[in-house]
Structure 1
Amino acid sequence: RAAGEIVAAAEGTWAPWTYHDERDTLTGFDVEVMRLVAGKLGVKARFVESEWDGIFAGLDAKRWDIAANGVEVTPERAAKYDFSTPYAYIHTALIVRGDNDTIKTFEDLKGKRTANSLSSTYMELAESYGAEAVGVDSLGETLEMVLAGRVDATLNADVSFFDYMRAHPEANLKIVALTEHSMSVAFPVVKGQDTASFLAAVNQAITELRTSGELERLSQQFFGSDITAVNK
């Protein structure tokens, strides 16, 4: 509040979470949620765009206060960062080309090539099943590699894939498997006593946005469904 702003990191290349619209304005579900959170705190949200693998390095170096980029809460991340109250819940989808009949489950990824953002939970999951993961910068690039046959599959949020298919209905892609349990999406901050009051204020803002229906409204706007429901 003293600075008058929250500095938040976002990729800006992962629709509909964080991306640039037709006017080249940064927007997306995470961006607009963070703007509302900042408003609740009486400050403005200032976004710094970074590739995925640089977002956490920037947090560590305190180049920004928080990350707003569809970050899934994992035990490994929770050991290093404090997370806000979850504001969304998603499943991971295994995506292949429409004519691919060799990959039907996550176990079928062994010995196959996948494409995903470096250091993402999707890349880690693919590698845990024995896939060779190739790093890319955006969802669009990832799916183009699948379509071109340069990789066999990719893993990503189910809602992100549905959004891509709404914009590219002719794309010859399909989901062949989903993770059984949903993952929580939340805002990470550097772990420590000096961020406790900041995180408490962010959590209060998220609670108010959920109660008022504004979280659901944004979810419907960007995803066409409510991904904010607790324990979805």
Structure 2
Amino acid sequence: MSKKWIVSIVTGILMAALVLAGCGGQKSTENQAKKPVLKVGTEPSFAPFEFQDETSKDYTGFDMDLIRAIGKELGSEVQIQSMGFDALIPALASGNIDIIISGMTINPERAQKVSFTKPYYQSGLTIIVRADNTAIKGFEDLPGKRLAAQIGTTGAEEGKKITDTTVREFNSPAEAFMELKAGGVDAVINDRPVNDYYLKTSGTKDVKQVGNPLTAEEYGIATAKNNTELAAKIDKALEALKKNGEYDKIYEKWFGKRVQ
């Protein structure tokens, strides 16, 4: 066999090896691309649970850290989608998103439309008034008053149950606080962590929190009504995060030491 033929054969073998290697690399890339995606719906104006960082524009907060940790536990890529709070459940029902995490209180009405995970956070409603307001000391003083709350929240629902009140609903808690400071309403009803976070970060002396919390509310992650399998997987991931200490780390980052 001539050297020319030997060179041709060796060259052919090398080219075939390169083609196979290229196919292998492409297959590896395709496998990585097939990592399951978890489409998460949220209304990012509910600090400290979900809000948009002013500098990076990333979605951040307790819920955002938690769902990314859950996604990692599930081996899924988390994609956050921003939308209005009242659009979340319809988006879930239509399949545009896989889950909702948005400081959503578990209640019977919502449970008819979605499947909830086990509670991941316990909250309650509190009141913010202007600093010079001495007439409102608690929920018992709210009848006949002008109230503000975020649209679609339990704060708005509870406000409407109070006798002779007018409840104005806003797209975000920040807008409700602005209306309070402007004198357009007498009080804001919000989930306690939202009120606490506002008082802590705003540094304002113009408003104050009064009274004891009303109700004990539990937040849950929602999946489509027929997708109980995904809800069970999230429950399992959440339990793992609590056991390995990751949940406590996230909690303490946003709220301080967790009381067991």
1:135 is aligned to 2:172: no
Q: For residues 57-84 of structure 1, what are the alpha-carbon distances to aligned partners after superposition, in whole Å with 9 as ceiling and x for unaligned?
A: 2122222111111111112222322111
Q: Determine if contact 1:87/1:215 at 8 Å carries over to the other structure.
A: no
Cα shift at 1:187:
0.4
1:172 matches 2:220: no
CA contact (8 A) 1:107 1:129 kept: no
**Change over 3 Å in CA distance of 1:178–1:81 after alignment to 2:** farther
Aligned 1:139-178 pairs, distance under 5 A? 139-178=173-212
Partner of residue 239 from structure 2, selected from 207, 210, 215: 207
Determine the structure 1 residue equivalent to 2:220: 186
Q: Does structure 1 conserve the Cα–Cα contact (< 8 Å) formed by 2:45 and 2:52?
A: yes
Q: Does 1:83 align with 2:116?
A: yes
- State the match for 2:31 in structure 1: none
Partner amino acid, structure 1, of 2:86:
D
Rg larger for: 2
In structure 2, C-alpha distance between the alignment counterparts of 1:117 and 1:57, rounded to whole Å: 18
Name whichever structure is richer in helix by fraction.
2
26-35 vs 181-190, which moves further: 181-190
Larger relative CO (CA 8 A, sep 6+): 1 or 2?
1
Q: Is the 8 A contact 1:9 1:49 kept in 2?
A: yes
* Higher mean C-alpha deviation, range 163-172 or range 209-218: 163-172
Shift of 1:206: 0.5
**Structure-1 separation of matches of 2:237 and 2:94:** 25
8 A contact 1:71–1:187 mirrored in 2: yes
Give the TM-score taking structure 2 as reference length.
0.81
- How many Å separate the matches in 1 of 2:144 and 2:94? 36
SS at match of 1:220: helix
Farther-moved stretch of structure 1 (171-180 vs 124-133):
171-180
Matched, 1:100 2:100: no
Residue 179 of structure 1, CA deviation: 3.0
Instruction: Tell me the equivalent position of 2:47.
Output: 15
CA gap of 1:219–1:101, structure 2 versus 1, over 3 A, is same
Partner of 2:67: 34
Secondary structure of the structure 1 residue equivalent to 2:38: strand
Conserved in 2, the CA contact under 8 Å of 1:29 and 1:219? yes
1:178-231 Cα offsets, whole Å, 9 max, x none, are 335421111012212xx121111100001011111211111111122427x4xx
Cα distance in 2, alignment partners of residues 60 and 152 from structure 1: 37
Measured in 2, the distance between the counterparts of 1:180 and 1:148 equals 25
**Using the alignment, how far apart are the partners of 2:98 and 2:212 within structure 1?**
32
8 Å CA contact retained: 1:52, 1:117: no
Secondary structure at the aligned position of 2:112 is classed as: helix
The total of aligned residue pairs comes to: 225
Partner residue in 1 for 2:30: none
Task: Compute the RMSD of aligned alpha carbons.
Answer: 1.7
Pairwise CA distance, 1:110: 2.0
Question: Any gaps of 5 or more consecutive residues in structure 2?
Answer: 1-33
134, 150, 156: which one pairs with 1:117?
A: 150
Conserved 8 A contact 1:142-1:154: yes
The CA deviation at 1:56 is 1.7
Distance 1:142 1:171, change over 3 A: farther
Q: Which amino acid aligns with 2:129?
A: V
- Which residue of structure 1 aligns with residue 9 of structure 2? none
Provide structure 1 residue ranges, at least 5 long, that are not aligned to the other structure.
none
Residue number in structure 2 paired with 1:6: 38
Cα distance in 2, alignment partners of residues 225 and 93 from structure 1: 21
